[in-house]
Amino acid sequence: EAKANLEKAGWAVDYIVTHCAPTSIQNALLREHSAPDALTDFLEEVSQRCRFKYHFFGHYHSNQVIQQKYVLLYEQILRLK
């Protein structure tokens, strides 16, 4: 369903909000402890195909910005406009 919705939006959205990060971002965060799976690989495909301002995700229990548009949130709350 996610791909169908992105297709309808022309693969262009303002924000992506997920629990996990794309594989490349997870690898950068966890290095040798990274264990990519079907979900992170799917999110990697989305990050490569989709035009977006920011991708917000959690799961890794830290607050950090990676490569300017990937935002790892743990204890922060953001208001999106």
Query: Residue 13 has what pLDDT?
Result: 98
Distances (CA, A) of 35 to 3, 11, 26, 40, 64: 23, 27, 8, 9, 20
In this prediction, residue 25 has a pLDDT band, given cuts at 50, 70 and 90, of very high
Cβ-contact 21, 73 below 8 angstroms: no
- 45 pLDDT more than 90: yes
- 81 pLDDT more than 90: no
What is the count of structural domains for the chain?
A: 1
Count of residues in the chain: 81
Alpha-carbon span 32 to 12, nearest angstrom: 32
Query: Residue 71 has what pLDDT?
Result: 98
Residue 56 lies in a domain: yes
Residue 77 lies in a domain: no
Give the phi and the psi of residue 65 in degrees, each rounded to 5: -105, 130
Query: Residue 11 has what pLDDT?
Result: 98
Query: Residue 42 has what pLDDT?
Result: 98
Residue 18 lies in a domain: yes
* Structural domain range at position 31: 2-72
Average pLDDT, the chain: 96
Residue 50 lies in a domain: yes
